[in-house]
Amino acid sequence: MQQNLSSSDPIVSLRDVQKSFGPLRVLDGVSFAVERGEVLALIGRSGSGKSTALRCIDRFEKVDGGEIVVCGHRVDRPDVDLRALRQDVGIVFQSYNLFPHLTIEQNITLAPCAVKGMATSRARDLARKVLAQVGLEEKLHAYPEQLSGGQQQRAAIARSLAMQPKVMLFDEVTSALDPELTAEVLKVIEQLAADGMTMVMVTHEMGFAKGIADRIVFMHRGKVHETGPASILTSPTTPELTQFVGTGNLKS
């Protein structure tokens, strides 16, 4: 359900979100909000519930309790219009998930044409535009397997951008890449942030999070354990975050 969205409402807000997988309580009262144009970094140990929180925002997981509002959609409600929600939200995964049988151009034009009914010629122009944004114009007619991991991830970002989402979700998008390729992907995300895109990203790149995030959410055992501006990474208040950033996670 789309409520009237005033420009001051957060783009994403979670309130007291609960989620269990069987007996395992993965999210235990998670709350945070992302304002328009803000970049929020979700950090924490493996298994702390970061991916689950992110996936709840795009309703890849159904929550057991609490409230999630994304661009005016009540995501926690069973009657949420999934396709409307997902036109407002772009999501990029660690494993790129480009469609292997389609060229990069076809990967990008598919959703605008099929979902929004965009004319093919307009969608092709759009594909060029978003590929230029991620520095891959020359790969328009290549197939995904002809691209390096970093290029595939940038193409996946371009594919999401072509739907003109109001918010982008990134789940450890550089974890499968070596440092050099990581850098080229992070550069693209930095540029998006500079252009004012609202973003929620799960990341292990602490130096990057520190440089780009307006807000940090540190998750620990399914709870938001500590949150604040990027400066909490250099002066954490809880022993858990101190330990987390101290264990060599904070590279610059």
Residue 252 CB, nearest approach to other proteins (Å): 32
Smallest distance from the beta carbon of 53 to ligand ADP, in angstroms? 7
Q: Does 51 contact Mg ion by CB under 5 A?
A: yes
Only one residue has tokens 């354990």, namely 225
Among residues 40, 63, 29, the alpha carbon closest in space to that of 217 is found at 40
Residue 97 contact among other proteins, Mg ion, ligand ADP, none, beta carbon within 5 to 8 Å by kind = other proteins
Regarding 60 and contact with other proteins (CB under 8 A), the answer is yes
Q: Count of CB atoms within 10 A of residue 139's CB?
A: 21
Binding residue for ligand ADP (CB under 6 A) from 3, 16, 47, 65? 47
What beta strand segments (E) does 79-211 contain? 89-92, 167-171, 198-202
Nearer to Mg ion, 51 or 160 (CB): 51
75 forms part of the interface with other proteins (CB under 8 A): no
Q: Which residue is nearest to Mg ion (CB)?
A: 51
Any contact of residue 51 with ligand ADP (CB under 6 A)? yes
Sheet holding 89-92, edge to edge: 89-92, 167-171, 198-202, 39-44, 215-220, 223-228
Q: Is 153 in the site for Mg ion (CB under 5 A)?
A: no
Among other proteins, Mg ion, ligand ADP, none, residue 248 binds (CB under 5-8 Å by kind) = none
Element (H, E) at 155: helix 149-161
For residue 173, give the nearest of 78, 63, 77, 50 by alpha carbon: 50
Please tell me whether residue 13 binds ligand ADP under the rule CB under 6 A: no
